[in-house]
Amino acid sequence: MTTRILGTGSAIPDRVVNNQELETFLDTSDTWIQERTGIQSRHTATTETTTSLAVKACMQALEDAGKTPEEVDLILAATVSPDYTFPCLACEIQSALGAKQAAAYDINAACAGFLFALDSAAAYIQCGLYKNALIVGAEVLTKLLNWEDRSTCILFGDGAGAAFVAEEKTGVLAMMQGANGQKGMALYRQETAPDTPFRKTGIRGGAAVNYLEMSGQDVFRFAISQVPESIQQILEKTGWDKKEVDYYILHQANARIIQSIAKRLDEPEDKFPMNLTQFGNMSSASIPVLLDEMNKSGRLKRGDKIVLSGFGAGMTYGATTLVW
């Protein structure tokens, strides 16, 4: 027995910010952004929160799977932008859903977070500790961005994607995870450390804001090297030839990254679906939102062979093979 995705869901904020709007306050252009990223627009939370988006996505996933919150054994939430340091996002979801029987905790693996959550749920289910899990990647990254820095703020958007998984005869076949902490500072956000009676930092009251910082070239080089390697490893572990794969569903960071990965694998780009054009980089939410989009539109068929792969701050990375 293994773990299978039985239902998916997603939630996207209403407010759309297109590249033309960014032109009004940034030294940039629609052409410049599209040529370098493939992004035309992104969604930003206004009244929505990380928790409200996550709860909506989870409710959809449960409905799609035909399950109730009371049946959920485990909730895993992947995020780098929760509403609270504690309680964790997963506990907030548990409360909102009324999933009183579920254990709940968060995972921070940045953009690879949903994959780490899926793999963790699969491991729990395989060892018999739980029979099912509700996993979600949810982000409101726009609150962490410096909106005067055109190199970073153009890239990211907000959203949440979820999946309900349970024990089945087929589904997740193989998993691999890794991290390269030596390259971790290519993408980071430092927490504010205010003065205490015992340590002087020059910051009072914790009011200072620290923004996301990124070396785009370092992240690009890491991604186009590590993701193809991860995919090759997981294909070998599964025993699949790459030609058998129906879809490679990758973290939606940048169109040029995905195109470069396809080229390195010598696979056609139509096997690499993208939705970053309208959503930008949603970090841990990007893979599950794309999964839900493909599932609800009928593009995914039972029996399809799928490779999931992603990378994120840390630098974390991973890949999973599954039968839909």
**Domain map (residue ranges) of the chain:** 2-169, 174-323
The reply to whether 174-323 shares the fold of 2-169 is: yes
Q: What is the pLDDT, as a whole number, of residue 199?
A: 82
Gap between the Cα atoms of 293 and 275, Å rounded: 9
Q: What is the pLDDT, as a whole number, of residue 134?
A: 98
Topology of 174-323 in CATH?
Peroxisomal Thiolase; Chain A, domain 1 (3.40.47)
DSSP label at residue 56: H
CA separation (Å) from 193 to 85, 86, 88, 196, 215? 14, 17, 20, 9, 23
Residue 316's beta-bridge partner residues? Answer: 179, 312
Clarify whether 281 is annotated catalytic: yes
Catalytic residue among 88, 91, 111, 153: 111
What burial letters (b/e) apply to 81-90, b meaning 16+ CB within 10 Å?
Answer: bbbeeeebbb
Q: What is the pLDDT, as a whole number, of residue 208?
A: 60
Q: What is the pLDDT, as a whole number, of residue 201?
A: 77
Q: What is the pLDDT, as a whole number, of residue 313?
A: 97
CATH class in words for 2-169: alpha beta
Per-residue pLDDT tens over the stretch 175-218 = 999 999 999 999 999 987 778 888 887 777 655 678 999 999 99
* 3 state SS of 323: strand
Clarify whether 58 is annotated catalytic: no
Clarify whether 18 is annotated catalytic: no
Gap between the Cα atoms of 260 and 29, Å rounded: 24
Catalytic residue among 91, 251, 254, 295: 251
Q: What is the pLDDT, as a whole number, of residue 261?
A: 98
Low pLDDT (below 70) residues in the chain: 205-208
